Amino acid sequence: MNSSKLKNDEEIYQFFKWSAFKEDYLIRIEKKGKIKTIVKKKIYKSGYNQKTGEYQEPRIETLKEERLTNDQFHKFSTLITKNNFWQKTDYKVESMCMDGGGILVYALQKDQYLEIDNGNCSPDTEYLNQLYNELITLFNL
């Protein structure tokens, strides 16, 4: 999506938490004018059932999809500001392993685009792991 095409009152945040061996999760928080929404999806990878050997197709399950109140979105905006999110334009974490997990974030505002990730196997104290944990606590995810 082209950030220059967004209106001044539009914001989009996508937090993608991935794992080499477990399910992945996508959290999307969006503001379009007065409408603010949150969606959380669980992404199941394809694989084989350990007991039956049967192939299992990849699938996506929506865990949460709802409108946010002004107060909820304000708390999210405060979290973003408190963590200096939009100042992380050169944030880079080197991968610490080959088979682990990480967090990838895409964010858009009018004329701003930010894409950051925390590599692979980052410690719990790393910036995006901390931000993600605060996010899931804030929205009871």
| pLDDT, tens digit (0-9, with 9 covering 90-100), for 63-112 | 999 999 999 999 999 999 999 999 998 898 888 888 889 999 999 998 89
User: Could you give the domains of the chain?
Assistant: 3-138 (3.30.1560)
Model pLDDT for residues 103-123, shown as the tens digit of each residue:
999 999 988 999 999 989 898
Is residue 115 within a helix (H) or strand (E), and if so which, with residue range?
strand 112-117
Give the model's confidence band at 1: pLDDT under 50 very low, under 70 low, under 90 confident, else very high.
Answer: low
Residue type, 75: K
* pTM of the complete model beyond 0.85: yes
Which alpha helices (H) appear in the chain, and where do they start and end? Answer: 70-82, 127-138
Distance separating the N- and C-terminal Cα atoms of the chain:
26
**Percent of the chain residues topping a pLDDT of 90:** 70
